[in-house]
């Protein structure tokens, strides 16, 4: 996965991933970089079909089935969009990747986190981002942000507080285990400050 730069954004729902991904994209484009903006689940036609199932299906989905659906989306996404973009030397900015599955399906659904990670690595041929930005936010504060948006919650956003507490804890553990890949930022900090720290880290990767 050489040639381009792959940056993923992680964090609980309401942590500001979309905002920061957009600011990074704008800065990179102004710097003359070719940027591919994408997300998981989704990012491809097949992925959007899977996204509709895992986030908006009415009724239960067995936890292992949910994990497999995310892995299927990820396999197709990396093979058809992410890898070709990186091989062309482009910058891929992505909302969520395998760390989301480890946190949400592993910790949130109380599945084996190591198995979830191995499943995603197998699905993608071992692909890992150059940088993962983790926007860390207390779940209570995150819920206030979601409530303020006045939008219907998807299946994961609607989970109870203990679910989101497990997700946050899992994210922090992942970041602690891979400090060279992760940049952990306080999502409650001013937007401009967060964006500046992300730009600094991205700049260092090109150094």
pLDDT digits (tens, 9 = 90+) for 56-100: 887 888 989 989 999 999 999 999 999 999 999 999 999 999 999
Residue 1 confidence (pLDDT) = 45
Residue 161 confidence (pLDDT) = 80
In sequence order, what are the beta bridge partners of 11?
Answer: 135
Burial status of residue 91 (CB atoms within 10 A of its CB: 0-12, 13-18, 19 or more):
buried
Report, as an integer, the average pLDDT of 100-121.
92
CA 154 vs. chain centroid, Å, equals 16
First to last CA, the chain: 18
According to DSSP, residue 10 is labeled: E
| Selected residue with higher pLDDT from 160 and 48 | 48
Identify which of 134, 145, 202, 116 has the alpha carbon closest to the alpha carbon of residue 174: 134
The C-alpha atoms of residue 185 and residue 195 are separated, in whole angstroms, by 10
User: Which pairs with CB-CB distance under 8 Å and at least 24 residues apart come from 174-179?
Assistant: 174/99, 174/102, 174/103, 174/134, 175/132, 175/134, 178/132
Statement: the pTM of the whole predicted model exceeds 0.85: yes
In this structure, of 30-34, 105-109, 190-194, the range with the lowest mean pLDDT score is 105-109
Domains of the chain are: 5-206 (3.40.50.300)
Residue 31 has pLDDT above 90, yes or no: yes
Q: How far is CA 41 from CA 31, 45, 88, 195, in A?
A: 28, 11, 23, 24
What phi, psi does 133 have (nearest 5°)? Answer: -90, 115
Residue 156 confidence (pLDDT) = 66
């Amino acid at each position: 996965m050489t040639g381009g730069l792959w940056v993923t954004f992680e964090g609980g729902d309401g942590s500001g991933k979309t905002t920061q991904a957009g600011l990074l994209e704008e800065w990179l484009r102004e710097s003359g970089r070719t940027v591919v903006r994408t997300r998981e689940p989704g990012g491809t036609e097949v992925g959007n079909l899977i996204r509709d199932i895992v986030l908006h299906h009415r009724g239960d989905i067995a936890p292992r089935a949910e994990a497999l659906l995310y892995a299927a989306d990820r396999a197709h996404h990396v093979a058809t969009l992410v890898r070709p973009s990186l091989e062309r030397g482009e910058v891929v900015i992505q909302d969520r990747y395998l760390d989301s599955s480890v946190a949400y399906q592993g910790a949130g659904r109380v599945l084996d986190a190591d198995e979830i990670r191995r499943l995603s690595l197998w699905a993608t041929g071992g692909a890992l981002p150059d940088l993962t930005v983790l926007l860390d936010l207390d779940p209570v504060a995150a819920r206030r942000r979601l409530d303020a948006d006045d939008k219907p919650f998807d299946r994961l956003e609607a989970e109870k507080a203990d679910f989101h507490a497990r997700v946050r804890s899992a994210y922090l553990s992942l970041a602690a285990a891979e400090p060279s890949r992760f940049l952990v930022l306080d999502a409650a900090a001013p937007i401009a400050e967060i964006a500046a720290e992300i730009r600094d880290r991205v700049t260092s990767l090109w150094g």
